[in-house]
A and B are shown apart, each in its own frame.
Chain A
Amino acid sequence: MADLKVSIGALELRNPVMTASGTFGYGLEFQDFVDLSELGGIVVKGTTLRPREGNPYPRMAETASGMLNCVGLQNKGVDYFCEHIYPEVKDLPTQVVVNVSGSTIEDYAETAHRIGELERIPAIELNISCPNVRQGGMAFGVTSQGAASVVKAVRRAYPKTLIVKLSPNVTDIAEIARAVEAEGADAVSLINTLMGMAIDAERRRKVLSIGTGGLSGPAVKPVALRMVHQVSKAVGIPVVGLGGIMSATDAVEFLLAGATAVEIGTANFIDPGVSTKVVRGISEYLARHGFSSVREIIGALEN
């Protein structure tokens, strides 16, 4: 069997398949469906310094080959995570990465620092790209200067592997990627959701409580692939690719585009067992094409 191991900075993954933040809970919710020891890693739900209730219902609208959500970073805050959730996840048989979000640079740095003290959490994914909260999140992620300033502060507060999750809602994502690389990010992950909107014509109303939401699912995959390809050419650090991955073939496409690892998001809602099927499918692809390591196909487009 081909070697599936990849590294994202100092973070070593047994295979390149992780689950995306906000789509897999804390892993615990999916233990009936997935043997977590077969996964590369889990990126757990976005965590903020203080508890957040998120946005009002309705928070979700299905669209053509995709879905919009405006959950708005509902979570119980970093204290609750450290006291109640960390003890539950620290011995899971896979790498657990915490997605960190915030409204101010100080919040980001403080939350990252707190997570950094947890021995069994080897990495954070810094969310500077949530489209669903008015203050912070995407506000930092849409300018090079904003992104750089958050990463600079977090880099000082957090010594372990720092992955920065980028917004696709920008003019030039490669420029943002270069800016966070320059401030010491170990990797970038992309794409977060694309900002969208749904309208109910019969009722003449916006479907989502705050009007807009983030689009995910197969509908965004071509956009994500293009951006992963573009960013992987622009930076020297590893790229984690996500956006509409539903199958092993989709995952292989991201690896070929230049991603070192991938995250599975919306697909977990449709098939809660999909993530490990993707792992097995990548193995089969490598065997079928005669590769001895998954690393041989990273960025290996032939044209």
Chain B
Amino acid sequence: MKKEILDLQIAEATSPWEGFVLLKAEPTEGALPECRPGQFAQLRTGGALLRRPISIHNVEEGGRRVWFLVQAVGRGTRWFQTLKAGDCLNAVMPLGNGFGMPGSGDRVLLVGGGVGVAPLLFQGQRLRERGIPFAFLLGARSADLLLQLEEFRRVGEVFVATEDGSAGECGLVTQHSAFAAPYTLVQTCGPTPMMRAVARLAHEQGMRCEVSLENRMACGVGACLCCVTEDRTGHNRCVCTDGPVFGAEELNWD
């Protein structure tokens, strides 16, 4: 899959949730390169020197418009809040390996927490197109922090867990009754403690599990070796090129 440096023009920039920005953008010329769910883009920011790795939230039908859901946490990501329709955004994409594509016998649970829900929307779209049974399980501290709930509902069945009980079942995603159903594969993205707990639970229930990491990185293409995570054999693997999606059993998470 060829990686490209491309200029995107912002078609829509909104902040539906405090501290988050939703960007929808199209290439200023030519086509968007083919992207797989779970891959990411390195977005140039006016707020910092280095690019920021942001997962691909969605690619609209027709493959021309790409979505990014960004949490504004530092100088680099806060700059994305200043973008408006018509502005230009430089991206290096698509990067990383993306989620595995399940087989026809699979039933998939897509488990997201916080801004980590972003790549699951794209994955859900793809699973729906392929006719593979799946559901989303989205977790947040409270109902107002459930991001893109309506979009997820457009794509498939959505289970919700909130820590304060303000929406869906009260508790963590790992306490949700959805895990009682006979899923064969769990694909998850969110805070590391959540993903570790999800991976442990999936393992106990005999489900395969893929996790999407978001280590701090500089290059995004496997050159700087800054974003490494230790695998089960004690070797450092690049999250940008060997990941960001890993089989939970590959990682040194026990």
Contact = CB atoms under 8 A, between A and B. Distances in A.
Residue from A57, A67, A69 whose CB has the most chain B CB atoms within 10 Å: A57
Contacts of A32: 2-4
B189 interface: no
A54 B225 contact: yes
B236 A54 contact: yes
Contact of B49 (A23, A25, A53, A218): A218
Given A270-B50, A270-B51, A57 B228 contact: yes
A269 B52 CA distance: 11
Q: SS class of chain B's interface: helix, strand, loop or mixed?
A: loop
A104 interface: no
A23 B215 contact: no
B217 A60 contact: yes
B167 interface: no
Interface residues of B, number: 31
Nearest to A64: B49
B5 A271 contact: yes
Interface in B141-189: none
Which of under 10, 10 to 19, 20 to 34, or 35 or more describes the interface residues of A?
A: 20 to 34
A302 interface: no
Nearest to A70: B226
B246 to A, nearest CB: 14
B223 A268 contact: yes
B51 A269 contact: yes
A273 interface: yes
A269 B241 CA distance: 14
Contacts of B235: 53
Contacts of A270: 44, 49-51
Given A29-B223, A67-B50, A74-B225, A269 B3 contact: no
A129 to B, nearest CB: 18
Contact of A74 (B4, B5, B236): B236
A59 B225 contact: yes
A217 B223 contact: no
B222 A25 contact: yes
B218 interface: yes
B216 to A, nearest CB: 6
A33 B51 contact: no
A32 B94 CA distance: 11
A180 B98 CA distance: 48
A32 B226 CA distance: 21
A58 interface: yes
A23 B236 contact: no
Contact of A217 (B49, B225, B241): B49
Contact of A29 (B4, B48, B222): B222
Contact of B228 (A59, A62, A67, A268): A59
15 contacts: A23-B219, A53-B234, A60-B216, A60-B224, A62-B76, A66-B49, A67-B49, A67-B50, A69-B226, A218-B49, A269-B220, A270-B49, A271-B5, A272-B5, A273-B5
| 7 closest Cβ pairs, A-B complex | A60-B226, A25-B223, A32-B3, A269-B219, A269-B218, A59-B226, A29-B221
